[in-house]
Amino acid sequence: MPTETLDSSPPSQAPAEPERLAYSIHEAADLLGVDYFSVYRLIQRGKLRACRALRGKLLVPRTELLRLLKG
């Protein structure tokens, strides 16, 4: 039985991107399968934590998305 390695993709394919630490509201909405405004409302109501990046852009930490999906 062959052992599985961490990089099981064939050499012809590009390596997968590393996990990101934070996502924009639009990206978070896409990952959660909801509308942009739904994510924004979750942030306003304190149910999803976000932080401000450069130029005031809101970013949702990956850990917050995972917490929301688990709970």
Domain count, the chain: 1
Instruction: Kindly give the residue spans of alpha helices, DSSP state H, lying in 1-71.
Output: 25-32, 36-44, 62-70
Instruction: Give, for all 71 residues of the chain, the pLDDT tens digit.
Output: 555 444 555 556 666 777 889 999 999 999 999 999 999 999 999 999 999 998 999 999 999 999 999 98
3-state helix, strand, coil in the chain (%, to 5): 40, 15, 45
Determine, yes or no, domain membership for 10: no
Asked whether the whole model's pTM tops 0.85, one would answer no
Determine, yes or no, domain membership for 44: yes
Determine, yes or no, domain membership for 52: yes
* CATH assignment at residue 65: 1.10.10
Determine, yes or no, domain membership for 64: yes
Determine, yes or no, domain membership for 28: yes
